[in-house]
Every structure is written in structure tokens, then in C-alpha cells.
Structure 1
Amino acid sequence: MASIDLYQIPVKEVHGVKGKKPEELLTLGIASVGDLLDYYPFRYEDYTLRDLTEAKDGDKITVQATVVGVPLVQMYGRVKSRLTCKMMADPLFITAVWFNRHFLKDQLKAGTDIVLTGKWDQKRLHLTVSESEFPGKGTSQIGTLQPVYSVTGALTQKWMRQTLKQALTQYGGLIPEVLPQELLAKYDLMPRKQAVALLHMPGSMEEGQRARKRMVFEELFLFQLKMQAYRALNHDRADGVAHPLDMPLVRAFVRALPFTLTESQKNVLAEILHDLQQPFSMNRLLQGDVGAGKTVVAASALYAVVKAGYQGALMVPTEILAEQHKRSLERLFESYGIQVALLTGSLTDRQRRDVLGALQMGMIDVVVGTHALIQEDVFFRKLGLVVTDEQHRFGVNQRSVLRRKGLNPDVLTMTATPIPRTLAITAFGDMDVSTLNELPKGRKPIKTYAVTHDMLDRVLGFIRREVAEGRQAYVICPLIEESEKLDVQNAIDVHAQMQFAFPDYKVGLLHGRMTPAEKDEVMREFSANRVQVLVSTTVIEVGVDVPNATLMIIYDAHRFGLSQLHQLRGRVGRGEHQSYCVLIADPKNEVGKQRMKAMTDTNDGFEIARRDLELRGPGDFFGTKQSGLPDFRIADMVTDFEVMERARDDAAELVRRPDFWTAAGYTLLREFLQREHITDSELLD
């Protein structure tokens, strides 16, 4: 954007940036004047004078005071010290405390005015001083907001503040306007020059907020403009497969299913079948709560593609899940002559060779597998549809490798981690998003209780009653073995405890250090009800289906993320009997308490996901590196949700207009898209 000029000017052109400073700035990603002006503070120090009587305990405040006592210094060794002095901060007598500032003692004479900034201890009337200044001596921060930047090494806050002030003086007038006038007017946004200046040097918190509002919208709008332009330019490219679907055959398959699809499932399946018949590659995210019936939708799509003469692949994160999906698909496809095969790391060399050969010759219609599917020696005869389950467990690269094993096959990505729609659109960029938002009929809501560890005897009694009626129970622990660092119940100890508590029943143990064969054996025993109580770590979190299990007990539940707790809870409630989830927790902090409250308040995965995002932030929610989530400079995907939605709608409307691609008023936005390689048809993946 003609601020391109500013991105071409080396940062050393700013007065005062000399010596090693350009190299030090480069470690922060700052190479040009434009980069420097884009380096926004993450908060402000408020030096506005406050009335102590209105301050709360623990507040960081700035007050004007008068010295009334004699300063006292206590030395600790040669350099460490504590300086205290009585002050009058009208109407309170307070004690000001400095650490390692004993040299101020001589300046603290009775009657001297001083401005103190520090942390207020309301009970003891103490102010622990972080900064102090005597009015009238040198430059003053009194009454100002000072920006706080992320700095490293030899770069100091003071130097960054001075340098950004200088950069604004030299180059602030060259900052170009990026947003179209109609959007500035629509949302009452200030001009870009003013917003950048006020973000670095706001006169008040209100000004800072207005400047942030402007730059948040710009950042999210430009991100969405990339996505929408990509879709507009690539959605009609006929480089995919237009599958000649036999719709009457597909409808007959759906009618013959052992249960009736929900309206939500029917709608989503219609969207997928429509995409499969188009000449461009489908790239669709199918999200739905635990138990919403994603697998049967995917199976119907695979059936349609196979009957059109193509092969399908289903990639899942674990071998247990791969085997389960294979069995499910075989049951659904058994009367249609569709061949389903399994490809996982635990196949013998001979078995693997047989599967690879049959795949390449087209004798296998659908292959279900783990990461083994994306190895170099796996070839398909005619791959038409790729389904990946549990999206966030595969990196972007792994998904695109599987995609390249066919001629731009259609891609359906499933996740049981419900993501608020805005965030799904953001996180998975150029994907269309389909949502299953109702549970199959007959599903009873799972009753959830939060209890403390001292109620364990009652919990054991609950397990005993359920098992005596022929049901089964999961008992989940955070760790495999005892850890000195974390005081948590571990699977091995709990297994021994459960064996002691239930001598008449079989208690199984499942954890991540077991071999795939050992895990599978335990799960098979549990599925067949030869094991009544299964003690496990979170390896059972994804997808395992045992309809007879009605009880989920989670030890130290406050140590799990909310979405993970919801996933675990979804392992029960899959049969006809009422199911329960019991969270055993003694949360010490507010976040832990909030998690327990959210779990007992609602069974809605989307509401859980929203609260999880509020408590953890998007990085933790997705597993930062694998998610492909954009890293915004100033916008926050949790708090700025609604802005993201508006930005998306505005960007989509703009790229649909013919004048966007030609009119002079949009030149800077088109240059931005060129720099981002959107207009030269490079894929975002």
C-alpha cells in the first residue's frame, strides 16, 4: 500500500536508530520504518493522578504526596536496600516503600512534593513505588498514558518510546489511507494517520480505544480480503473433479440407513453432495458436537463418490479410531459391494504390501488409516474424496500431502471440537464451513456433577451401582505415573485403587505408553463388556464408541481444558441408558472454578468452546503451531469476534463488485493482494 514507501525505507533512517540498534530491532521483526510504525504497544502505563480513597487493593496507581516523615534505609548486603518514608496523600497518611533506591533518601525532605507510581496495599496503607518524580524537575509523565512495548535485549521502553515519537515526527505525514472511504464512514473510523499516532501516543484511554478500534478493523478486513479474493478468484477454477453422482442411488442408501438423519445432517449432506458435483475442488469443514453424527454424513459422501467410480480415503489420528471407523464403514457398506481396507503403522510388511497393491489397482474403494496414508509409497488408482477426522491433530502440510495423492480430490475435514463459526472461518481460511447443530433423536443429555476429592467414597458407590446394573464406567486421570511436580492422581495408582474397590469386577488400564496392540486389546475387552471399569489417560478422548458405558469419572478435572473435558464427556451417552459425568476437582484458582461451572451449566459444545476460548485464548485452544491460525498484531480473535464477522461480509461484498478490480480508489487494496500473491493464484494451503 503506498505505505509500501515506508516499508522500503530502512529503519536506520529514523533519527537516533544507529550503531547496533537496527540489528536489535530486526530481532523484533522490524526492518523498515513501516514495520516500526506497525509495532504497537500491548498496553499503557496510566500516570493519571488518582484519589487514594477510590483505589482498590492491588491497584497500580499514581498519586501526588507530600513528605511528612524521616526517610529510613535498611541495607541487605552491599547493594540491596529498602527505603521507607511517611507521606501525606490527602486525606491519607501512607508509607511509601522503595526497593534499591536508597540514593533518594537525601531528596526526601519534609514538605517536599513528590509524585509516586506503584502498587497500593489498602490494608497496610503502603505504596510500593516503582517510579517517582519531583514535579518541576525535567520532563514529566504526570497525567499521561505511556505505551508499553514488547522489548528484548538492550532495547528499553524509554528508547522505544522516543524512537517511535521520532518516527511519527519524520514519517507520520506519509502514512497512507488503506480503507475505502465508504467503510470509514460506515463504522465511524478515524483516518489511518491519526489512528497510528494515537495508538503510540494516546491523550486518553478513550482515544487509545478509538484508535485500536480503527486498526483492529483494518487488520481483520485485510485478512478477510485475502480469503475472499482467493475464493473469488479460485472458486470457479475447473481443476477439480465433477463427480457424476447417481442421486437416486445415494437417496436409497440414506433411506436404508438403520436410523433417520436429523434435519441438520440432511442439510449438511446436501451441501457436500452439491460440492462433489462441481468442477472445482471441495474444501469443506464439517464441525459438529460430540455424537452429532458426522461419521454417517462422511460415509454417505464416500458412498456417493465410490458409486461414481472413484476411491475415498479417511485419515484419523489414532489406530484405535481407524479400526473403529473401518468397522463402522464395513457395517454400512456390507450389502453394497464396497471394499474397505485399513492402513496403519502396525500392519505387517506383507499386509501393507497387499493393501498398497490393491489400492493402486483400484480393488480397494475406501481406505481408512492414520499418518500411514501420507507416506511416499501410497498410491491410488483414482482418488476422488479425502476425509480427515479431528482436523486440529493434523498439520496443514500433512493434509495437503494426502490431497496431492489424487488429481485435486475433494476434501472434507471433520472436527468434534466445535469452534464458534467466526473462528472456524478465520482458522481454516478458505474452507466452507458446515455445522451439525442438533443431536440424533433419542439421545439423553448427559448429567454432569462437580465434586471434591473428599466425596470419593460416594463416587465409588455410584460406580458400583451402575456396574451392578450391567453398565460400564470410564475413570480418567491426567498422568500415567506419579509425578513429583504435580499433585495429581495417576492412572497406575488409580487402577490399583479401583481393583481394590471392585474386587468382583474386571478393571482395565489404558495409557499412551502401551503398544498399539495392547491398547487395542484393552479397548476390545471393554467394548465386549469383559472389562467393566476402564482406568485411562486421555488416549480415549477421540471417537471411541462403547454404547454400554454410562459413567465418565474424571480425576483432577480442573487440570484439563474445557474442550477436552467436553470431548471426554462425549464418550458416554451413546446408548439408550441415562449417562453421567462426574468431575472430581479441588480448583484453587478462578479459571479452574470457571471450567467446572461451565461443564455443569451446559452440554452445548459450541457454548463450551466459546468459554474455553475466553479462558485460554486461541493459541492454547488449537495447539498453536499446528492450527494455521493467523497471528494478528493488534486484533484478538476472542474479543473481536463480531468485528471479524463484519469484516468478512464487507470483504466478500467488495471483491464481488467489478469496480473493485479496476477503480483507482481500490489501488492500494489490489497492491496488497498482489504482495500477498493472491492475484497470481498461489494456493493458501
Structure 2
Amino acid sequence: MSIDLYRIPVKQVQGIRGKKPEELLALGISSVGELLDYYPFRYEDYTLRDLTEVKDGDKVTVQASIAGMPQVHMYGRIKSRLTCKVMVDRLFISAVWFNRHYMKDQLQPGTEIVLTGKWDQKRLQLTVSESELPGKGTTQTGTLQPVYSLTGAIPQKWMRQTLKQAVAQYGDLIPEVLPRELLDKYELMPRKQAVALLHLPGSMQDGLLARKRMVFEELFLFQLKMQAYRALNHDRADGVAHALDLPAVRAFVRALPFKLTASQKQVLAEILHDLQQPYCMNRLLQGDVGAGKTVVAAASLFAVVKAGGQGALMVPTEILAEQHKRSLERLYEPYGIQVSLLTGSLTDRQRRDVLASLQMGMIDVVVGTHALIQEDVYFRSLGLVVTDEQHRFGVNQRSILRRKGMNPDVLTMTATPIPRTLAITAFGDMDVSTLRELPKGRKPIKTYAVTHDMLERVLGFIRREVNEGRQAYVICPLIEESEKLDVQNAIDVHAQLQFAFPEYRVALLHGRMPAAEKDEVMRSFSANETQVLVSTTVIEVGVDVPNATLMVVYDAHRFGLSQLHQLRGRVGRGEHQSFCVLIADPKNEVGKQRMKAMTDTNDGFEIARRDLELRGPGDFFGTKQSGLPDFRLADMVTDFEVMEQARDEAAALVRQPGFWTDAAYIKQREFLQREHIFDSELLD
């Protein structure tokens, strides 16, 4: 019988005494298993180096000999600078310690010392972070030392020593969790060896091989959980098998004022197939800006309403909710389908009327913001929930809306094209549909990156477009002036453009305005009564004005790539050539790369890939509530190939009948049991 290391209190490790168990608890460590799982995030290399081969600014460890008398300069009562001349090989350099004046007496001429610090090539100076004198306890010279993410109460040295002790005491009891065939196929070391080498690497190569093994394990177990959930629940008859009137849906599609693309037809067929099954649909619909996701959602909602159900469309902003309501009303008018709006700005009376009508089934489709998930909202027969720009809603918000029906089908949409890697990670329990092509007739948007000193030319560009009867958006990162940030704000830019264009109507739109005022601004812009709209990113998502052909973004380097791509997607919706002008003076390389990516390509999937590289997955959605897993070692950008291997292997394993019964897979089944996969709870 194997010993469960997660049941052994951490204080059983020799050397963990006094307050240390409490301090470890602050890091989420209460058991030996959790301690061994607390991996370093990098390594310090204490290998001795030759200074002539070291780059300026690099961290280096050198063997030196004290060659002069140390000098101490005090700054106030506490701060100090200790300087001493030392000889490294044949090089005479200065070694500098800050706030270590007490070391002065140890630095006797002729004494050998090992110094680690930052090398300044120009000054021939080493700023010392660590130093070791021979014969003064344990040495780390010539080794690779792990660096852990720690609170101030726990020093690195203590943590290193403690984990060394934990590996010595319990390393042989670490159980294997990967199937034997995967260890052989991918040439992965045993788990006990990998854990030991992560904490005590003999070389960087050891650390990399150990990391490779543990990254595969982490991603494989995550995917095993997702694939097992799908295998156990895909045939579960807990949803509603809608009796769809397919001829009516086909007639609805034929009557649309435009032809669906092949991609839209394919995705709609996938959704209609799901709606007819007895299990709950859980599908992600992703597509580039302007790829036509809304019309696919409209046809899906139409199908459910015609089958006797109700539909809900949840969007992140009131402006978008109102726009979707108008669009759906136009499409559904010939069919007598009732569409209503439920947002926070309704009066009490209006809200009561909508809630009563929903409960009685008099409303077929409701469009709303997070107001849809409040406790007093009830449906008579909610059949399909569509969430637009789904990454803007937290996991909990989406699941609350889903619980308002008898396990309704769920379609989540995003115009932030998610790289396949991220989609299969974050939405491993979902089917992913992708709209790849844009509707015919769409001209690619021409994008230019310019600096602030070219503003006069940008104003001339705006004047040219408006004189030809077109309209322009001007986007600013802030509403009002900020003392902390030197960036353009919408109120100032609005005033400047009113002065620059007295012959045009220039309007202002931002999130703090009352809903009625925002509606009027958008109505006026849609009707071309306003020629230039100055706005914050409140118009980032979904606003559709075909006559707008110019998007100008101030301080564009302050936005993420996917956000800039969303903003650019507000133009290019009509027959005329459209343009996007990004005004930016990026101070760093990342900002420059963002501008280059935007001018290089209009492909949202390529933009998303580059955004992921520049920002990392945690920031990609702009929210911690995105439902993304928080891996200890794996990185969704650099480890994407391993992620795909892990997904394929997990899917293949759960398809084997023997997986659910054979003794060889008992460890994997125990893992699934701990993760409550057999409890029939819906994952989110």
C-alpha cells in the first residue's frame, strides 16, 4: 500500500520547527506532498566564470583574491557602501557591497573569496549580491541553486535546505502518476527522479529534463480531467433534445439579406446537430472581427424558439445589448418572434414587465447585460444561452445564467480569436467552432502606425474621409486627464477636434455617461448626423456603422494587440475602403512589436498568436476570472506542442475500455476521483 504524502503534515520534515509550519501554510503548503510540489521558478548559476567572457550587466560568479584595504562609506545611520579592490585572474577590479559594512574586518588582503554579482564592464566593477569565504560553512560555488517564490518570512537558503531534506526523507515514496507507455513513448524520467532534480539539479540540463517530464504530467492530468468529463457526459441525457423545424430554419437563412459564407453554414450545421441531441451543448464559437458570428447566433436562437423554447443573449455592454436587440428585431419581424431588452438602466416598471413576460413565456428572446443573471430573473422554458465576448464574463456569471433553465444548451462567442493551443486549454470541455472566412466584399483595412508629431497629417486624413461623406472614430485610453499617465484623454481630444473641425459634428462617448445619453450619441452616429465620434474603448465590441471608414487610436501602444484588432474591426463594414491609424510613441520593444504586428497583418488569429507571445496567457483575456488553469510549471505559449500531445494522449486513453477497469490505470482513476469527475457536476 502506497503512502499518501499529502496526508503527512509538513512538520514531519526534519528541520521544520517553531513558526515555520505556519509560515509555510501562507504559501499553501501544509503537507509533505505540497512541499515537494513547490517547484522553483528559476535557478541561480554559481559556476565559476571568466570575466573576459562575460557580457556587461550579466550576473556572474568569480574566484577572487582581496588586493586592497576595504573602504566603508555610511549614508545616514543604516545605509552603507563597502568597496574593496580584488584580483580576478589577472584583472584588477572593484567589488562593491551595499549595506554590508560589517564584512569589512573579514576582507583581509591576500584572502581568497568567491563573489557573485552584477558585472559592470565599463567601470570594471562587480556589485556583489552574495559572497563566500573559504571554510565558512557549506559552499554553493560551482552549483546550480533553485530560486523559489517566497514571502519575507522564509529565506531562500532555508527553503533550499528544507527541500533537500524533504527529498532525502520522502523522495523514494513519490508515486508515479503517468502510464508506463507514455513514459516510454516520450522518453520521460520517473516522477521521483524528476521531483528530486527540480529541487536539486546537478546541471541546467538535469533541470530542463526534469521540467520536461513534469510539464507533460501537468498538462496530461489537466487534459485527462477534461477528456474524462467529456467521455462521461457527452451521452448523458440531461439536456433537451429540441425537435427542430429544419425547413423553417432553412427558410429563415434563405430570407437573410445576404448569403452565409461556407464557414457560417458549417458552424450553423454543427450547432443545429447539437441542439437535437439529449445532452447539453457546450460550444465555443470563435471568429475574427466581422466574420458574422451574430447571424449564426440569430439563426440558432430562431431554431430553438421555433421548437418551443426561449433564448437568452448576454453581452458585456448596454450599447451592444441595444444594438443586438435592434438587429434581432429586424431579422425576426416577419416571424412574430418577441425580442426584449433587460439591462440595468430599465426603470422599475419596465423591469417588472420584462420579468413577468419572461416567466409567462411571452418573450421569446431576451438580450441583456449581467442584469440577466440576477436572482429574480426566471424563464418559462430557457432552451439556449448565448454569451457574446464570453471572456468578459467570469466563470461564475456564465454558470449562473445556465442554471436558470433545465440545463439549457450553451453557445459562447468571442471575437478575440483564440489560438488553438489556448482554446483547447481554457475550453477543453467545449467543442470549438471557428469562422475562418469573412463575408464576400470585405476589403482589407489599411493600417498605419504614426508618431504624435504627425497629428496634423492625421487630422487632414480625417477631413478627407468626412468630406467624402464618410465617418471616423477617434479612440482614447482615458476619459479624463490623469496626473500619473501622460496619455491623451477623450474629453480633451473631443474639445480639440471640435475646434479643429467647426464645420462637422464631433460627439463624445464614454462609459460613465447615462445610458440614454449613450444611446442618443450612438443613434446620431449610426444615422450620420455625427461625423466624428471621440470615444474610450466602450465601442471596442460589436458596434456596427458601415459608413465609418476611419479608426484613429491615440496612444495605441497602451492597448493589447487583440484590443487594437477589435477596435480596428469597427471599420471596414461597408463597401468603401477603410483605414486604421495608430498614433503611438512606444518607449520599449514590446510596444514597437505591437505596432509592427498591427501593420503586418489583418488576420485575427495571427494577431492573437503574437499577443499571446507578448503578453502571456494570464493577460490575454484581461481578467483572472477567465477560467484559465493556473499551472505550476507549464506555460501555454512555450509548451503548446506538449499541450496538444497531452490532449491527444488523454483523449485516446479515455476511449480505451480498459482505462476504466484495468489495474494499470488505477492511479489515473484515483486522480479523477479526487477531482470529482464522477460526481456529475458540470464543469465550467
* TM range, smaller chain: over 0.9
Q: Distance in 2 between matches of 1:302 and 1:683?
A: 23
Give the match for residue 419 of structure 1: 418
Aligned to 1:257: 256
User: CA separation in 2, counterparts of 1:224 and 1:56?
Assistant: 42
After TM superposition, the structure 1 stretch with the greater mean CA deviation from structure 2, 80-89 or 485-494, is 80-89
Structure 1 residue matching 2:456: 3-state secondary structure: helix
Q: Distance in 2 between matches of 1:367 and 1:512?
A: 23
The equivalent residue for 2:477 is 478
Partners of 1:77 and 1:335 lie apart in 2 by 83
- The Cα shift of 1:629 comes to 1.1
Q: Give yes or no for the alignment of 1:238 onto 2:226.
A: no
Residues 63, 112 of structure 2: 8 Å contact kept: yes
Aligned to 1:334: 333
1:284-310 Cα shifts (integer Å, max 9, x gaps): 010111111000111111111111121
* Of 593-602 and 207-216, the range deviating more from structure 2: 593-602
How far apart, CA to CA, are the structure 1 residues paired with 2:299 and 2:487?
Answer: 43
TM-score (norm 1): 0.98
- Determine the structure 2 residue equivalent to 1:28: 27
Give runs of aligned pairs for residues 357-506 of structure 1, distance below 5 A.
Answer: 357-506=356-505
Deviations along 1:345-398, one digit per CA (max 9) or x if unpaired, are 222333223322322222222111112222222222221111111101111222
Partner of 1:270 in structure 2? 269
Taking the aligned partners of 2:26 and 2:350, their CA distance within structure 1 comes to: 51
* Secondary structure, counterpart of 2:580 in structure 1: strand
Q: Tell me how far apart the structure 1 counterparts of residues 533 and 91 of structure 2 sit (CA, whole Å).
A: 63
Structure 1 residue runs without a partner (length 5+): none
CA shift for structure 1 position 274:
0.7
Q: State how many pairs are aligned.
A: 684
1:546 matched to 2:545 = yes
Whole-angstrom CA distance in 2 between matches of 1:654 and 1:226: 11
Q: Distance in 2 between matches of 1:497 and 1:91?
A: 65
- Counterparts in 2 of 1:562-581, with a 5 A limit? 562-581=561-580
Greater Cα shift, 148-157 or 656-665 = 148-157
Once residues 683 and 302 of structure 1 are traced to their aligned partners in structure 2, the CA distance between those partners, rounded to angstroms, is 23
Aligned partners of 2:227 and 2:428 also within 8 Å: no
User: 1:111 Cα shift?
Assistant: 3.2
Cα distance in structure 2, aligned partners of 1:455 and 1:195: 56
- Measured against aligned partners, the alpha-carbon deviations of 1:572-623 in whole angstroms (never above 9, x if no partner) come to 1111111111111111112211111111111111111122122222222223
Q: Which residue of 2 aligns with 1:664?
A: 663
Instruction: Find the aligned partners of 1:73 and 1:649 in 2 and give their Cα distance.
Output: 62
Q: Is the CA contact 1:417–1:605 (under 8 Å) kept in the aligned structure 2? A: yes
- Matches of 2:629 and 2:654 in 1, distance apart? 21
CA offset digits 1:216-263 (Å, max 9, x no partner): 010111111111111111111101111111222222222222112112
The answer as to whether partners of 1:24 and 1:153 remain within 8 angstroms in 2 is no
**1:344–1:122 distance in 2 versus 1, CA, 3 Å:** same
- Partner of 1:107 in structure 2? 106
Distance 1:124 1:379 in 2: 73
**What letter is aligned with 1:199?**
L
Counterpart residue number, 2:246: 247
SS of equivalent residue, structure 1 residue 65: strand
Q: Following TM superposition, by how much is the alpha carbon of 1:130 offset from its aligned partner in structure 2, in angstroms? A: 0.6
On the 8 A contact 1:219/1:635 being kept in 2, the answer is: yes
Asked whether 1:162 is paired with 2:158, we answer: no
Match of 1:681 in 2: 680
Corresponding residue number in structure 2 for 1:19: 18
Question: Could you say what secondary structure the match of 2:553 adopts?
Answer: strand
Partner SS for 2:286: strand
Give the corresponding residue for 2:308: 309
1:12 shift after superposition:
0.6
Q: CA deviation at 1:499?
A: 0.5
1:241 and 1:278 in contact (8 A); partners too: yes
**C-alpha distance in 2 between matches for 1:260 and 1:191:** 57
Tell whether the 8 Å contact from 2:392 to 2:623 is kept in structure 1 after alignment.
Answer: no
Please give the residue correspondences for 1:590-669 in structure 2 after superposition, counting only pairs within 5 Å: 590-669=589-668
Contact 2:239 2:406 survives alignment (8 Å): yes
Partner of 2:320: 321
Query: In structure 2, the residue corresponding to 1:251 is in which secondary structure?
Result: helix
> What's 1:118 paired with?
117
What do residues 120-163 of structure 1 show as CA deviations (whole Å, max 9, x unaligned)?
11121111011111234432111101111111142111111111
Alignment pair present for 1:202 and 2:206: no
Which residue identity is paired with 1:360? Q
Counterparts of 1:114 and 1:86 in 2: how far apart (Å)? 12
Query: How far has the Cα of 1:92 moved from its partner?
Result: 2.8
Letter in 2 for 1:400: S
Letter in 2 for 1:606: F
Q: Cα deviation per residue 1:426-468 (whole Å; 9 max; x = unaligned)?
A: 2124111111111111111111111111100000000010010
What does residue 588 of structure 1 align with?
587
Aligned residue number for residue 144 of structure 1: 143
Q: Is the contact between residue 507 and residue 531 of structure 1 (CA under 8 Å) also seen in structure 2? A: yes
Structure 2 gap ranges (5+): none
Q: Secondary structure at the match of 1:120?
A: strand
Matched, 1:179 2:178: yes
Mapped to 2, the partners of 1:61 and 1:445 lie a distance apart of 51
User: Aligned with 2:417: secondary structure?
Assistant: coil
Counterpart CA distance in 2 for 1:254 and 1:528 is 27
Superposed, which structure 2 residues align to 1:487-526 within 5 Å? 487-526=486-525
- The one-character-per-residue Cα deviations of 1:79-138 (angstroms, maximum 9, x if unpaired) are 322122222223432211111222333333333322110001112111101111123443
Counterparts of 2:420 and 2:117, CA distance in 1: 42
The CA distance in 1 between the partners of 2:153 and 2:357, in whole Å, is 62
**Secondary structure in structure 2 of the residue aligned to 1:241:** coil
Separation (CA, whole Å) in 1 of partners of 2:445 and 2:8? 61
Q: Secondary structure at the match of 1:679?
A: helix
* C-alpha distance in 2 between matches for 1:293 and 1:91: 70
Deviation at 1:4, TM superposition (A): 6.2
Shift of 1:416: 0.8
Is the partner of 2:677 in helix, strand or coil? coil
The TM-score with structure 2 as length reference comes to: 0.98
Aligned to 1:47: 46
The answer to whether the 8 A contact 1:507-1:535 is kept is yes
Aligned to 1:80: 79
* Superposed CA offset, 1:8-40 (max 9, x none): 100010011111111111111101000000000
